[in-house]
Structure formats: structure tokens, C-alpha cells
Chains A and B, each alone.
Chain A
Amino acid sequence: MGTKTLRIYLITRFLQYVLVIFLGLTLVFFIPRLLPQDPIRAIIGQFQQQGAGLDAKTVETMVATFQELFGLSGSLLTQYVSFWKRVLTLDFGPSFFQFPTPVSQLIRRFLPWTLGLMLSSTIAAWLLGNVVGGIAGYFSQKRWAKFLDTLATVIRPMPHYVFGLVLLILFAYLWKIFPLGGGTSIGKTPSFTIASFLDILRHSFLPALTMVTLNGTAWYHQMRLLVQNVKNEDFVRHAKFGGVHTWRLVSQYVIRNAMLPQVTGLALSIGQIYSAAIIVEIVFSYPGLGTLLFEAISRADYNLIMGIAAISIFMVSTLVLIVDLCYPLLDPRIRYK
């Protein structure tokens, strides 16, 4: 019986994974094609704005070249098929703004930074928010718990960009204890030495702090609400009257049970967390996909934008799948039923 429930769970999750990627990439394919504006004309328009004098014939040749390059020639169906071919072979053609470097190579260089920032800050925010929120929810009548509540309520609605900018102004412009941006000091490349590690840590601190603070307060709030419901349930009351020690009660009985919805919540919010990471990177010109995307947009690098969009969908869906696969490890009902 047990393995059967588990198998059904795993199969549905995996199907969902494949379907979401399919849906997402199909959207990526169709959105630019459904819009009233032609991306190629937009790019050429931008060239002209920047002062390039182009005659009608040159424009025609450029349109043809771009159509070839972007996979925009032929019928919609052939375009769609060749789009999938490009995605599956991770070949998004050359980038414009660093011509002729392939898009996939650029992404490979910037991706680890985004992953590192996002994973470390997400795990820290989730754990911190849940533990503090759980304890504050259990002792919700205490004065410090109420203070934490007010603090979280003020911080939580701030947008990532603005909060990051405020930290940057405070701790890099006014009180110069952190660098203005970047991933390493100028002229240094990351290497496996302690000095290099500390340098990266110093550059990552403010972006990570932005992510941990804003996402952490969201987890804190949700956990607090969950715990306030769980702590009034019969089994908690029985355990309390049975003489279970308070800290054991809070950690093993209350927080443990309230944690499960938070795992589902984590899976559902990874897309939003990713979007936030992209924005935070731009504030601090952190050398990840966000900064790359910013460059791609400002230079109208269509191939690069498509490449980043496709990779983002792959990455986010895979992370969601991983979190979903961890769920049975935590929920005994799925494991043992």
C-alpha cells in the first residue's frame, strides 16, 4: 500500500513537471509571435534610433538575416519544431552584444552566480522564517513576539528592488562598508582560495540580505498563522497536559506539523523567488542571469532573452520538482499509508 501511494505521488509530480515545462516554453514561443509588434522591426528600429542610417534594401537584408537567426522563417509549425530542437540541444544561436559568443556559453558563465545566491538565500530565509515564525506563533502573546510581528508587517510589502536600493544607499554609498556592486573586486577572478571566497562573500552579502529579509518575513508570517491553528489542536493540548517539555512541544509537535504546508508553499513560490533574485541582481549588478538579462534587454539581444527565458523555466521547474520530491520524506502520511 505504502509504495503505491508513493508511486502515484511521484508519477503525478513528474508528469506535472514535464507539462509545466511544455506549457512554459510554448508560451515563450508564442508570446513574441502573438504580439502586434514584430521583434525584428523593433531591433532595427533601435539600430536606427542609435543613429545607423539604413536604406530600404539593407533593412530587407537585415530582416531576412534576423529571421534566419531567430528561427522566424517558415510556417509557424516548422518554427515551433525548430524552436524545440534548439531548446533541447541548448543551442540558442549567437549573442548580439557579445557577438559571436554563443548564448549557451554566456548563460553557463552567469548561471552559477544566480543559483548560488538564490539557493543559499532561499534555504536561509525558509529555515529562519519558519523557526522564528513558529516560536513567535506559539508564544504569540509575549511582547517580543508582537514586536517581531510589527517589524515583519512593515518590511514584508517592500518591493525587492526598492529594499535592495535602500540597503545599497545605506551600506555602500553613505556608510561605505560594502562594495557598490559586482560579484568580485575589479580585476579578480573567482578561484578556490580563502581570500577569493571572502571577497565573493562580501560582494554577495547585501544581495543575500535583501533576499533573506524580504522572503524570510513572508515565511515568518505564514508560519505564525499556521502555528496559531496547530497549537489549539487536541493532540498538542494532550501532549501539554501529559507533561511534554515546552521546547519539545514547540519543535516536535507544533512546528513539525505546521511545516508541511510550508514545503508545498516553497514549491509554489520558487518562481516568485527566482523573479526576485533576478531583480536583486540588477540592483547590485551581481554577475548572474539578472544582470545578463538587463544587458540583453538594453541591447535588444533577442537570442539571449529567449535563451535566458528558456533556461529559467527549466531551472525553476526542476527546483520545484526537487522540493516536491522531498515532501514524502517529511510527510509520513505519503510514506507509510
Chain B
Amino acid sequence: MGTLRELFQDYRFTLGFTFLSALVILAFLSFFSPYDPVKWLQVPRDMPPSWPHILGTNSKGQDVFWEATFAIRNSLIIAFIAALLSRIIATVVGLLAGYKGGIADQILMFLTDGILILPLIMMLVLVASVMKGQLSLVGLGILLAFFGWPWDARTIRSQVLSLREQTFTQTAILSGKNVLSLVFGEYMPHITPLLLSTVLSNMTWSISSEITLAILGLSKLETPTLGTMLYWALRRQALLLGYWWWIMTPIILTLVLLVGLYFISVSLCEYMDPRSRLQRATME
């Protein structure tokens, strides 16, 4: 509880937490939506915000507010799947490379750097353009996870490298602990906070990438996400026709979501900075 109180003293954490909670509530509202998110022409088209359509309606004949609740929910689901899976890959690669060292480390780091250097958008486009319109939410999450791990694998590796130099590693090895229980029992607690804060930054990345793929027309365009909402608004010239409520809704929601996620992750990162953590640990 003390941790939480300390975190809430940072205005960034409080603000990010508020933003994110509001959006999660919106996402949950989608379960009570009176409309089917995929069907067209359910309400009068192109109406500016008014009761009962508080954010107006779009040219597809959908209620923008309820469409947005589904969009947030789906974008969060994609981001969550991508973040979770890519954390698993990053942890395995980072732990293995950092602890094993030698050839294993060199090969893994070459792969990691290789994927990092490649223009990922091209890889995403290649996959998505062949899978055009077939990618489900889970499929998209897996695709993003496949490319979203290298940066954090590097971070985890360097963390393990520094842990390996510390005396408790020697003590553990000399007292006959096997590698698995050393790595998972002793190293994981040090790495978990780092992992948690990378979950948030990876979600940010995944949400942006989803928007990119949607704008390129490569994701399943019927499924409402923040990206596809923007895609339809632009495709139907909402900008030129002056339907600001349609195009501004996904833009503002995206900004609030990403700024919220980033604020929390920056605040967590600072709180869990290995130096201050070590200081605190040694003081205890």
C-alpha cells in the first residue's frame, strides 16, 4: 500500500491512472451498447453531437460514442495480447543471453539487433498485405508481439548482466543452486518491475502500430478499433466535409490513451530505477 501512496504523489502517475481508468470504463460500457458495432445504417447519418447521440453519428450510420467504446476495447485487447506475448519472448531471450553469455549471447543479440534495425513497418506490411482483412484481434496481437520484443530483450539482458556480477549470484552458485532456480528464483524478482513498466510502453507501441496498419487499410476494417475508426473517417472525407466529431473522437481518445499509458510508465520507471532500488535495498 505504501508503494501506491508513494506513486500517487507523482502527478504523472495520478493523471495517467485517471486517464486510463476513464478509458477502461468506456471500454466496459461497450457491453451495454444498444447497437451492433459492425452493422451500418442503424441511426441517421452525419448528425452533429446531440441527445441521444452525444458524439454525433457518422456517414456509415453508426453512433460515434458507442462505436468508440468498442474501438477502445478492441485496441486495448490487441495491445494487451501483443504486450503479454512479446514480454514472454523478451524475457526468455534476455535471460538466456544475459546469463549464458558467450556464443549463445552473441547469436541472440545478433538476432535482436537485426530485428531492431530492420524497418519493421515493411515486415508488418508484408504480412498484413497477404493476410488482408483476415487478421482477427488475436492474430493482430500475435503479429505485433512477434516484432515488439527486441528492445526490451536488450534491456533485460543488460539487467541480468549486472545481476550476474553481484555477490549473491556467486553465493547461490557456490551453495549448489541450479541454474533454473537461480534465474527464476533470484533474478526474476529483480526483472519483474522492469517487465511491468515495459508492458505499458509496449502497449503504446502496439496501439500506434495498429493505427498504422489500419490507415494503410491492412487490418480487418469492419472491426472497430482506434485505427479503423480513423481510417473510415479519413476515407469518407470527414475532414473536408467538416464532420469534426467523427474524426476528432478517435484522435482525442488515442492521445488520451497513449499519454496516460506513457505517464504511468515514466513514473513507474523512475520509481523503480535500479540505482534507487539498490540503494533502498542496501539501506534495508
Contacts and interface: CB of A to CB of B under 8 A. Distances in A.
B131 A35 contact: yes
A159 B127 contact: no
B contacts with A: majority SS: helix
Interface stretch (B159-167, B168-176, B254-262): B254-262
Interface in B211-236: 211-212, 215-218, 230
B25 interface: no
Given A159-B254, A162-B255, A27 B132 contact: no
A309 interface: yes
Interface of B: 12, 110-111, 113-114, 116-123, 125-127, 129-132, 134, 204, 207-208, 211-212, 215-218, 230, 239, 247, 251, 254-255, 258-259, 261-263, 266
B266 A279 contact: no
Contacts of A153: 12, 262-263, 266
B119 A31 contact: no
Interface stretch (A165-173, A195-203, A250-258): A165-173
B121 A278 contact: yes
A316 B121 contact: no
B119 A159 contact: no
Interface of A: 16, 19-20, 23-24, 27-28, 31-32, 35, 37, 39, 42, 153-154, 156-162, 165-166, 169, 173, 267-268, 270-272, 274-275, 278-279, 282, 293-294, 297-298, 300, 305, 308-309, 312-313, 316-317, 320
Contact of A162 (B120, B122, B130, B251): B251
A275 B121 contact: yes
A169 B122 CA distance: 27
A312 B119 contact: yes
Contacts of A156: 262
A270 B120 CA distance: 11
Given A162-B255, A282-B215, A305-B129, 10 more contacts: A31-B126, A32-B126, A153-B12, A157-B259, A159-B208, A160-B208, A271-B116, A274-B119, A278-B119, A313-B118
